Amino acid sequence: MGKVYSDDIRLRVTGLVSEGTSRRAAARRFAVSESSAIRWAERAAKEGSPSPRKQGRPPGKGPLADHLDFLVAAVEAKPDITMPELAARLEAETGTEAHPASISRLLCRAGFTYKKTADGIGVRTR
């Protein structure tokens, strides 16, 4: 796997290239690969910065994102609903099959937490 370079070295290489040095010469001077220097210079020219792009799926996407309002309404109507019950209700009413852990992660990102009460019954709260 490749080595991760800091923004500092990326800016130094692209700064040297913008001053007129070739990309390959700038790569040799800072001991980085030529292909990295070429990519950084191209990215700096197109996007204004050689910083790496964000990785991973954009937030708010995924198969359950469309059902967030339904899930929030179901939890607010019955705060002590379990995740398997919520998954079964989602499948029965919308036809979307989801693992209970996926639903739990989605609700955690939506701001819900699971609180235990003194009598041992848990309740999801926002």
pLDDT at 21 over 60: yes
Average pLDDT (69-88) is 91
The pLDDT confidence band at residue 125, using thresholds 50, 70 and 90, is: low
Is the predicted pLDDT of residue 122 greater than 60, yes or no? no
pLDDT of residue 99: 95
pLDDT at 56: 79
Give pLDDT, residue 88. 95
Over the range 40-78, which residues count as b (16 or more CB within 10 Å of their CB) and which as e? bbebbeeeeebeeeeeeeeeeeeebeebeebbbebbeee
Confidence class for position 113, pLDDT limits 50, 70, 90:
confident
∠ CA 37-40-45, nearest 5°, is 125
pLDDT at 45 over 80: yes
